[in-house]
């Protein structure tokens, strides 16, 4: 197979195309249709769910499973990255998690309260597959692009992801809102149809359409898995396998990743700028990821929708707004970082996130929710893209990029575990409004820590 030189347009585009492939997971499963589908399993917003021997709020269960998944990623990624470095084949690990995630998405077709633990295992597989593959995907960035290309390459990846995921979501939205056009059955019994009771006929039709829409949601989970696995093949075809060492995995190798993390931690002492940036990233990423993971659940529970159909359309449309605006946000943030610097741009973006947390506490109407969605979209793409590329630019001159990005991912995942657990506790005790408002503190601390990042790699 032909290999491409570092910095080549085709290599960078192939790397960025994985965002096109896997971002459908974050949009359809994590952010829009699955949260809406999950709410249809319960008769009321306040109905508790029983799982693992406890009764808890519906949103608290998802928060806990999400936190547990990120904990597994945080523990396993150092082991896997250590093996990948040792045998020189991180692409195979990226493939493994990609396929696990895609199959997990397809398995959500069978999600049911009657089999809640088995159902949650599919949710776990999808989330683990998505984030597990990113450990290796992110580590490719300094391998395929030079430092001056990395901001633009990172932004290109996110932009492609937003475009691709929006295209599939529009198709899925059409399926959910107009199921009859896609062959879903919305017929009612002849007895009701011939009864002459218009109210009963209307109610039966509405019930049939709702059932068809739920079936369409389940089919959308399958489309996500097929899209993710299918489009990732181009990325896997072009990306280099890695520097093959010819080594075989032994028992001693399993924990090489943790030893490498220890080495990275030691090396951070000589890279004061990277160390301080990681402290800031750990805090603000904790809040960003938590809000993004719970945003639609918030909209479903806390916003005063006129009807279930308005809620479904409103939530999905708001997610589309976020994705479309995020394309602009990623590009604008990349340009702002070129002019004003990465750290100053991140400070401004975090300040906007702070305002979003305050605004979310007071918003109640769909219009207010749409406004928040637009602002979130603008800063979401920017903070993700710039967060990743800033870390990449601050790395020392090393070929061991997988270990450094493993450290980055572990810090991010542990932060999410803490953020999701805090969110779940505050939500269980009070409400999602107070849980979202609490995230304000993390953005404030993140800004303070960003101000402490030096412009040059000085020493303490």
CATH code (residue 69): 1.20.1250.20
* 457 located within any domain: no
349 in Cβ contact with 379 (< 8 Å): yes
Mean of per-residue pLDDT scores for the chain: 84
* 247 located within any domain: no
* 313 located within any domain: yes
In this prediction, residue 74 carries a pLDDT of 84
* 459 located within any domain: no
Query: pTM surpassing 0.85?
Result: no
In this prediction, residue 332 carries a pLDDT of 86
Range of the domain at 321: 9-242+252-451
Q: How many CA atoms lie within 13 A of 371 on its CB side?
A: 13
* 71 located within any domain: yes
**How many structural domains are present in the chain?**
1
pLDDT tens digits along 306-326: 877 788 888 888 887 887 787
pLDDT tens digits along 57-110: 888 998 899 899 889 988 887 777 667 666 667 788 899 999 999 999 999 999
Residues near 398 by beta carbon (within 8 Å), at least 6 away in sequence: 404
* 4 located within any domain: no
* 460 located within any domain: no
In this prediction, residue 18 carries a pLDDT of 95
Residues of the chain with pLDDT under 50: 244-245, 460
* 3 located within any domain: no
154 in Cβ contact with 389 (< 8 Å): yes
In this prediction, residue 292 carries a pLDDT of 84
In this prediction, residue 221 carries a pLDDT of 96
In this prediction, residue 215 carries a pLDDT of 93
């Amino acid at each position: 197979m032909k290999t491409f030189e570092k910095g080549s347009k085709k290599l960078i585009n192939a790397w960025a195309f994985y965002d096109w492939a896997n971002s459908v997971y974050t949009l359809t499963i994590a952010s829009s249709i699955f949260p809406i589908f999950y709410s249809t399993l319960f008769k009321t917003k306040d109905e508790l769910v029983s799982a693992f021997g406890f009764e808890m709020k519906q949103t608290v269960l998802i928060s806990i499973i999400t936190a547990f998944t990120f904990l597994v990623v945080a523990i396993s990624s150092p082991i896997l990255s250590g093996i990948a470095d040792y045998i020189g084949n991180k692409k195979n690990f990226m493939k493994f998690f990609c396929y696990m995630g895609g199959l997990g998405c397809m398995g959500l077709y069978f999600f049911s309260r009657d089999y809640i633990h088995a159902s949650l295992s599919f949710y776990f597989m999808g989330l683990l597959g998505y984030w597990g593959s990113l450990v290796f995907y992110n580590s490719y960035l300094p391998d395929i692009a030079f430092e001056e290309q990395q901001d633009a390459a990172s932004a290109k990846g996110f932009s492609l992801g937003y475009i691709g995921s929006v295209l599939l979501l529009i198709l899925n939205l059409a399926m959910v809102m107009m199921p009859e056009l896609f062959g879903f059955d919305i017929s009612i019994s002849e007895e009701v149809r011939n009864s002459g009771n218009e109210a009963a006929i209307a109610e039966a039709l509405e019930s049939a359409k709702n059932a068809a829409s739920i079936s369409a949601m389940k089919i959308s989970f399958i489309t996500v898995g097929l899209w993710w696995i299918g489009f990732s093949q181009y990325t896997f075809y072009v990306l280099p396998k890695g520097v093959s060492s010819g080594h075989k995995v032994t028992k001693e190798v399993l924990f090489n990743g943790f030893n490498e993390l220890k080495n990275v931690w030691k090396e951070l002492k000589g890279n004061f700028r990277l160390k301080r940036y990681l402290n800031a990233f750990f805090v603000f990423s904790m809040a960003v990821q938590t809000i993004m993971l719970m945003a639609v659940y918030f909209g479903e529970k806390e916003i005063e929708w006129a009807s279930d159909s308005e809620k479904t359309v409103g939530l999905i449309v708001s997610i589309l707004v976020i994705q479309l605006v995020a394309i602009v946000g990623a590009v604008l943030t990349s340009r702002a970082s070129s002019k004003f610097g990465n750290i100053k741009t991140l400070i401004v973006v975090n300040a906007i996130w702070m305002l979003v947390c305050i605004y979310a506490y007071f918003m109640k109407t769909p219009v207010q929710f749409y406004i928040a969605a637009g602002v979130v979209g603008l800063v979401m793409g920017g903070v993700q893209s710039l967060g990743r590329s800033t870390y990449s630019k601050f790395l020392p001159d090393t070929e061991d990029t997988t270990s450094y990005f493993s450290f980055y991912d572990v810090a991010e995942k542990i932060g999410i575990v803490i953020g999701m657990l805090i969110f779940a506790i505050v939500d269980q005790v009070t409400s999602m409004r107070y849980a979202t408002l609490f995230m304000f503190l993390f953005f404030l601390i993140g800004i303070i820590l960003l101000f402490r990042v030096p412009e040059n790699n000085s020493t303490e």
